[in-house]
Amino acid sequence: MARMTETELQEFLQTGTICRLGCLDPDGHPYVVPCWFHYADGGFYIVLRERSAWATYLERDGRVSLCIDTEAGDRVLAKGEASVVERPNVGGKWVAIARDMVLRYRGEEGLPYLEATRNEPRWLFFV
């Protein structure tokens, strides 16, 4: 498959395609989880609930791999270090990023869920 141009990459990453993020659990085993993402600033923002087990995995060992693909075979693969942008908080930078993700993945119908859960602390990571 041919490498995507920057325009094709931007367009592909704006679709509602789910990302699979791979990290390492405390025993060093692979842990793969489907997640939403926001692509900006040359990387991927990931918003996690405060008590997500994999948030602690990322904080302990930031090595990750990402797979964003479609049944048609289009894909973006990435690996890197997940870094903490925000520790669990209410009302941080994660809110605007989560809003963008909700609109992309669920449309306007998803906004009530975000509003109902805005007071639940979230982590913000960047890969």
Which domains does the chain possess?
6-126 (2.30.110.10)
pLDDT-above-70 percentage for the chain = 99
Mean pLDDT of 15-21: 96
What is this structure's pTM? 0.94
Q: How many helices (H) and strands (E) in the chain?
A: 4, 8
Would you place residue 1 in the very low, low, confident or very high pLDDT band (cuts 50, 70, 90)?
A: low
Q: pLDDT per residue over 66-116, tens digit each?
A: 999 999 989 999 999 999 999 999 999 999 999 999 999 999 999 999 999
Amino acid found at 122? R
> What is d(CA 99, CA 105) in angstroms, rounded to the nearest whole number?
10
Whether the pLDDT of residue 23 is over 80: the answer is yes
> What is d(CA 54, CA 69) in angstroms, rounded to the nearest whole number?
21
What's the maximum distance between 2 C-alpha atoms anywhere in the chain? 44
Beta bridge partners of 122: 49, 89
Whether the pLDDT of residue 2 is over 90: the answer is no
Mean pLDDT of 26-46: 97
Contact 120, 50 (CB under 8 A): yes
> What is d(CA 4, CA 101) in angstroms, rounded to the nearest whole number?
22
Mean pLDDT of 37-57: 97
> What is d(CA 66, CA 13) in angstroms, rounded to the nearest whole number?
12
Mean pLDDT of 42-70: 97
Would you place residue 39 in the very low, low, confident or very high pLDDT band (cuts 50, 70, 90)?
A: very high
Task: Give the closest residue to 124 by CA, choosing from 102, 109, 96.
Answer: 96
